[in-house]
Amino acid sequence: MTIQPTPYLLDNLYWITIIAVIVSSASAVLKAGFKQFDLFGVIMIAIATGLGGGSLRDMLLDREVFWIADQIFFIASVLSAIFVFTLSRFIHIPPKLFLIPDAAGLATFAIAGTLVALMLDAPWLVASFMGVMTGTMGGVFRDILCNETPVVFKSPLYATLSWMGSLLYIYLLYMGIDIGIATLSVGALIFILRLLAIKFKLSLPQFKFKK
């Protein structure tokens, strides 16, 4: 399944990616802030989080890395980090608040990653996994830099929801649903289900040795 890169599609992809970068970078600052890193350290982790997943996707697809092609994405990540860093000095931020922008980043990057892969004529299964990678790897980089086990390996329904959402997105596009409607509906679904999974602690079975 191939998606033709029309101006309307490219415009949608651009703004989806901008939003994904901003919210993912914000989640990184909220997570790293409790490690008491300085401003430079926080910005570096925000960049790794906001740009890391998409960078890995682009390298695997042999595509020019998106934030190198357009530095607006890099600027958006840095400004998001500085804004949240400054805001946190004036208001109290609960430790787990980062999970909300993290869920938003998961949803938006899953859509963006899937769309980019489809535009490059990737097979549908590969395209769906590129959505997962784009949505989750930034968080993996963030947690590793914060010296913690990545959320994706232990948190309630994280990558699973991303992959299901990516597959649903591809199906809706295949069925001819308007890309704007498909994007908003699937993105909202991933975001809401992720928050519900956190609230009700819904997760896949964990590996355990038989005693």
Predicted pLDDT of residue 137: 96
Helix H or strand E segment including 193: helix 179-200
The residues, any chain, with a CB within 8 Å of residue 10's CB and separated by 6 or more, are none
Q: Could you give the CA distance from residue 105 to residue 111 in angstroms, rounded to a whole number?
A: 10
Tell me how far CA of residue 189 lies from CA of 93, 182, 185, in angstroms: 26, 10, 6
Which tens digits make up the pLDDT trace of 176-187? 999 999 999 999
Share of the chain above pLDDT 90, in %: 78
Tell me how far CA of residue 163 lies from CA of 6, 106, 124, 126, in angstroms: 25, 10, 12, 11
Predicted pLDDT of residue 2: 66
Structural domain spans, the chain: 7-200
Q: Which amino acid is at 63?
A: R
Predicted pLDDT of residue 86: 95
Tell me how far CA of residue 116 lies from CA of 2, 9, 134, 152, 201, in angstroms: 10, 10, 10, 22, 32
Low-confidence ranges of the chain (pLDDT < 70): 1-2
Predicted pLDDT of residue 154: 84
